[in-house]
Amino acid sequence: MKLEKIYKYIDSNYQNFIKELVRLVNQPSVSAKHEGIQECAKMVEQMLKTIGFSTIFIQEKKGNPVVYGELKAKEPRKTLLFYNHYDVQPIEPFEEWICDPFSGEIRDGRIYGRGVSDNKGNIISRLKAVQAFLETTGEVPVNIKFVIEGEEEIGSPNLQPIVKKYKDLFSADAAIWEFGGTDRHGRPIIYLGLKGVLSVELEAKGASRDVHSANAPLIPNPAWRLVWTLNTLKNEKDEILIEGFYDDVETPLTEEIKCLKDIPFEEEEEKKELALKEFLHKASGLDALKALLYKPTCTINGFMSGYTGTGSKTVLPNKATAKLDFRLVPRQRPEKIFRKLVKHLKSRGFGDIHVFEHGSTEPVKTPITDKFVQTVVKTAEKIYNKKAVVYPTSAGSGPMHLFRNWLGYPIVSVGCAHAESRGHAPNENIMIDGFVQGTKFIAAVIQDFASS
């Protein structure tokens, strides 16, 4: 009966919830450009306070603010923590958006805007699930904590010391991570872990300034130097050539392979959406899933050098940079991979290439057999009336290891996005129906966790 009242409250008030979400989307918070960060953090803190949370605005000497909120149950009970982030990706390419990226425009049952699915929609969804408890029952059945940071989209480079400093505040019995949603058939997707990531930038330098390209026989070209450098990292079979790169790679557990076989992988829909005839190396079925979740990667994110504007400019650039990320699987550690990368470049004759680290996280998993996992799975299937799709880990990355590996509680990632939410891309969106149902799901998770 309690949940029925809460669901009714959500149905009656979801339009006001959406207004709050649109207001949060209206506030830019691009961590890569440090755009609107302080304003957005303060807005998030005020939203927590308005509902009834006690808050701490954590502003260290380095990094963007972390907003902490806590709401205690009337009786001492278990604690559920929600990890989220208020920072978003840059909006570029702007010309591909169908609306202003920070408008929160509503079209055909969807809300559009940068960060609406990653991760502001989930912030509001979770806050409003808590509000629904307070408005209908006057209390929450478990202690609730929020940790909402502002650097997730740039690798959370300053979160580690904060987690160490505030480990008692951030303690919990279990946590819900920031992302998730439904697939194209409305099945709830549940993730139990993340790949690690190492983000780096390589820089090659030449002359003290750009010169006329007629001087190419005499002047070293850093763009070519960097191309040759990158060519040493991978072969055409997609194998990473850094010595010792695969030394610590852990194979999937038996129960994880069984779980993969149960995943209705929508590869044909995915290829159609991306206008691809086939995946890389013709991967398909179980092999494609295993590659996605358990294969470490080396990816060029961007390459910049010389003139890239309209028309031609016969110039020989004086500098070239490339941004890369390495996605890592269990037992690989980013600090070891970084050292191996530097050693590799020196051994191949590219010791002159400058290597900068832009952040890293460790791979992390919660076991499929954990009781909290089973609770969330059962709750999802009850709310969505469909069999849940459980991923033992995710191809994405984030600072989950700071909470799972360091603080020791189980973590499950769920949310209110959908298969075509376009996170990190133009026209990012969520469906209003999915937002409402996702809010009910979080309320049910809170209640079922209390009674489990």
The answer on pLDDT for 175 being more than 70 is yes
- Residue 51 DSSP label: H
Structure confidence at residue 397 as a pLDDT band (50, 70, 90): very high
Average pLDDT over residues 227-255: 95
Which pLDDT score, from 0 to 100, does residue 371 have?
97
Which pLDDT score, from 0 to 100, does residue 29 have?
98
Which pLDDT score, from 0 to 100, does residue 358 have?
87
Q: What is the CATH number of domain 196-249+296-361?
A: 3.30.70.360
pTM (two decimals): 0.90
Which pLDDT score, from 0 to 100, does residue 16 have?
97
Average pLDDT over residues 76-96: 95
Phi/psi for 258 (5° steps) reads: -60, -40
Instruction: Give which of 383, 357, 422 is closest to 118, Cα–Cα.
Output: 422
Which pLDDT score, from 0 to 100, does residue 76 have?
74
Could you report the per-residue pLDDT of 298-331, keeping only the tens digit for each? Answer: 999 999 999 999 999 999 999 999 999 999 999 9
Average pLDDT over residues 74-91: 94
How far from chain centre, in Å, is Cα 356?
22
Which pLDDT score, from 0 to 100, does residue 103 have?
97
State the average pLDDT for the chain.
96
The answer on pLDDT for 1 being more than 70 is no
The answer on pLDDT for 55 being more than 70 is yes
Phi/psi for 329 (5° steps) reads: -110, 170
Tell me which CATH homologous superfamily contains domain 2-195+363-451. Answer: Zn peptidases (3.40.630.10)
Structure confidence at residue 452 as a pLDDT band (50, 70, 90): confident
Average pLDDT over residues 352-377: 95
How far from chain centre, in Å, is Cα 10?
27
Question: For the chain, what are the domain ranges?
Answer: 2-195+363-451, 196-249+296-361
- Sign for the pseudo-dihedral over CA of 302, 391, 293, 183: negative
For 112, residues 6+ apart whose C-beta sits below 8 A from its C-beta are: 97, 98, 99, 103, 104, 105, 106, 427, 428, 429
Question: Measured between alpha carbons, how far is 426 from 410 in angstroms, rounded to an integer?
Answer: 33
